[in-house]
Every structure is written in structure tokens, then in C-alpha cells.
């Protein structure tokens, strides 16, 4: 009765075993060349401040803006995949709907571009 699920269970078990092996073997197999640059915090090319972020310094808003824009446009583009799979069945209605969707995404992209949201200074 559960025979069709056996390959799926075996795949999950293999993935879990590989993940566990990778995590436990990495400290023994990997190189041990530590220096000051590798041990410092990395903040996308900005020198880390000695003060904690909370109450001490201000985090640039550009980080959050970039992350939000990436999530926004990434999720919008994911909606194009179901259309690509079922484009033949949707016909003219689907074509009009996807054209409206792409136009909406295009307007949002143009708005962000015009407001300078894509400029990294």
C-alpha cells in the first residue's frame, strides 16, 4: 500500500544523511587558515563599526530597500512559470492576463528606476 512512497522516503533519508555527513565532516576536512579578515564581520563592503547596531549606529536603508525590491520582483516573476506551463490551455484570455501582469510589473520597475531605487551609491 505504501510502496509508491518508498523512493520518496529513501530520497529524504539520503538527503538527510548527506547533510549530516557534510556538517560533521567539514571541520575535519576543510582548511584551517584563519586570519583577521576572515574572522571579521562582513557587511557588503562597508567597514563594520565597533559599536553594536542597536542604539549605537545606523544601518543604511539601502540594504533593506535592495532586499525588498529583490523579493518583490522575484516573487512577481515566479508567477510567470504557471503561465508558461499552461499557455496553450489558457488561450487568448491567458495571453491578455499575462500581458496585463507584465505591464504592471513593468510600471513598478519603471517607478523604482525613476525614483533611484536601483542606484547603489
Report whether 49 contacts 56 (CB < 8 A). Answer: yes
Q: How far is CA 59 from CA 54, 66, 80, 92, 120, in A?
A: 9, 13, 34, 48, 15
pLDDT digits (tens, 9 = 90+) for 56-73: 556 667 778 888 888 888
Nearest-angstrom CA–CA distance, 92 and 77:
20
Residue 18's pLDDT is what? Answer: 97
The pTM assigned to this predicted structure is 0.47
Between residues 99 and 116, the one the model is more confident about: 99
Amino acid at each position: 500500500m505504501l510502496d509508491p512512497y518508498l523512493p520518496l522516503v529513501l530520497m529524504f533519508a539520503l538527503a538527510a544523511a548527506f547533510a549530516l555527513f557534510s556538517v560533521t565532516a567539514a571541520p575535519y576536512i576543510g582548511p584551517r587558515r584563519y586570519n583577521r579578515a576572515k574572522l571579521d564581520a562582513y557587511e557588503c563592503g562597508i567597514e563594520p563599526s565597533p559599536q553594536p547596531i542597536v542604539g549605537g549606529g545606523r544601518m543604511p536603508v539601502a540594504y533593506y530597500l535592495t532586499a525588498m525590491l529583490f523579493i518583490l520582483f522575484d516573487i512577481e516573476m515566479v508567477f510567470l512559470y504557471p503561465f508558461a506551463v499552461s499557455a496553450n490551455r489558457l488561450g487568448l484570455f491567458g495571453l491578455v492576463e499575462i500581458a496585463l501582469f507584465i505591464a504592471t510589473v513593468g510600471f513598478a520597475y519603471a517607478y523604482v528606476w525613476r525614483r533611484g531605487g536601483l542606484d547603489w551609491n
